[in-house]
Amino acid sequence: MRNKKFLFVSKDSLSGDLAAQLLKEGHEVKFYFEDKYSKDVYDGFLEKIHNWKKFINWADIIIFDDENFGSYADRLRKKKRLVIGGSRYTDKLEINRNFGQNELKKNGIKIAPIWNFSEYDKAISFVKQNPGKYVFKPSGNNQSGDKRLILISQKEDGSDLVEFLVQNKKVLERKNPKFILQKFIDGVEIAVGAFFNGSDFIYPINVNFEHKHLFAKNLGPLTGEMGTLMFWSKANKIFRSTLAKMKVGLKKSKYIGYIDLNCIVNEDGIYPLEFTSRFGYPTIQIQLSGILDKAGEWLFKLAKSKKFRLSTKRGFQVGVVVATPPLLSEGDDKEIVRIFKDISINFKNGKQSKNVHIGDIKRDSKGVWRIAGASGWCLVVTGTGQSVHRARVNAYREIKNIRIPSMFYRNDIGSRWATESKKLRSWGYI
């Protein structure tokens, strides 16, 4: 395959590591993102542009790497352009929780009981009249930005959730006018995902376990993601019972890209929670550590709607996010951003391992990696192995080689596998 021209389009500085991998393989890459706080991210790594639409004709393959670009992707596909990511349908699956759950139900997929609200007084009355444990989740277009406001009731009658809603009603009416209450399901959180070529899934599938909270043992605020354990698999019971049944809708929308469905499973069944219809972070960085094919080759086949099989490593991959204090500030705490911006990232042995993947950083003229942007989401460090234990050991060994002032990370990524895998096997899911 001759070298290709890749155009990345995103709201945030997300897939720079994938783009950098394509550059290493000899392809041309141009990168666009909108985030005003991230202007210097990827300096020294990638060529960034200010108007992606001017480069549509330049590109062989256009990658939309975020939600809400589906309308552009649909129009370009109709013009026979090679596009990965996005469709109006998959945008709606991810952004609108109610729509996503209804699509699951329409395709014969069992879902957890869910109730939609736009009035907090009605939700309060509902819980009082129907005591139980519920999960409060924002809905609508604000979903992605407000995921940290998810609350799970701890009391069996939901009285603690009622207290929260009563105390915060006026604040939440302004921030989250639409929301859902979902019945709390106790079990193992697990996601199944796969690449889709416009007409069918590409195998093997990806099975992953996200660690969304900031601190170990799932304490602290939700961050989006602090690390993931994953492995590649043939189609399993969870995939066949959930994501595989979405094939008709995905094919109708001509979606090409990665799609992931997060679920809670227990001995009573599988309960899908939410879709991610794009590359996930740090999912794609960890996936790159487990895919043996060259990135440019499998991305080109995917964009061309080819039927192929990914060549992947056996065993497990672990990815750990290494961050600094601007994390969660989103550019608002200018003083903290100022303190850490441009600080160097050092490696004790002087080498930058292939298992260290770039986040919001830049590279200066002397080749030194430095903190960039305002997210504090600096690196993703990966480890692979035939066992989860070996993958974890390899990942955390790599982290010990990294020095950044005040860096932090979760030290328990993948540590629940011994317990959770026994449950999943006893229930017949893996």
Q: Per the structure block, which two tokens stand in for 212? A: 């969304």
Q: What is the pLDDT of residues 165-193, one digit of tens each?
A: 999 999 999 888 989 899 999 999 999 99
Q: Give CA–CA dist 31/9, Å, rounded.
A: 6
Burial degree of 102 (CB within 10 A; 0-12, 13-18, 19+): middle
Domains 113-183 and 188-426 share a fold: no
CA 273 to chain centre: 14
pTM for the whole structure: 0.91
> Is residue 354 within 8 Å of residue 420, measured between CB atoms?
no
pLDDT at 145: 44
DSSP string, 168-195: HHHHHHHH-SSEEEEE---SEEEEEEEE
Q: Judge: domain 113-183, CATH 3.40.190.80.
A: no
Q: Per the structure block, which two tokens stand in for 159? A: 């009285």
pLDDT at 148: 64
CATH homologous superfamily of 188-426 = ATP-grasp fold, B domain (3.30.470.20)
CA 82 to chain centre: 23
Closest to 259 in 3D by CA, of 241, 287, 278, 232: 278
Closest to 117 in 3D by CA, of 138, 96, 131, 102: 138
* Three-state DSSP state, 240: helix
Closest to 51 in 3D by CA, of 30, 70, 78: 30
CATH homologous superfamily of 5-93 = NAD(P)-binding Rossmann-like Domain (3.40.50.720)
> Is residue 27 within 8 Å of residue 4, measured between CB atoms?
yes
CA 401 to chain centre: 26
Enumerate the domain spans of the chain. Answer: 5-93, 113-183, 188-426
- Outline where 198-294 has alpha helix (H): 237-241, 247-252, 283-290
Query: Is residue 317 within a helix (H) or strand (E), and if so which, with residue range?
Result: strand 316-323
194 has which bridge partners? Answer: 259
List per-residue pLDDT tens for the chain, 430 residues long. Answer: 899 999 999 999 989 999 999 999 999 999 999 998 899 999 999 999 999 999 999 999 999 999 899 999 999 999 999 999 999 999 999 988 789 999 999 999 999 898 989 999 999 999 999 999 999 988 765 444 455 688 899 999 999 999 999 999 999 998 889 898 999 999 999 999 999 999 999 999 999 999 999 999 999 888 889 999 999 999 999 999 999 999 999 999 999 999 999 999 999 999 999 999 999 899 999 999 999 999 999 999 999 999 999 999 999 999 999 999 988 765 557 888 889 999 999 999 888 899 999 999 999 999 999 999 999 999 999 999 999 999 999 999 999 999 999 999 999 999 999 999 999 999 999 8
DSSP string, 362-380: EE-TTS-EEE-SSS-EEEE
Query: Is residue 71 within a helix (H) or strand (E), and if so which, with residue range?
Result: helix 70-78
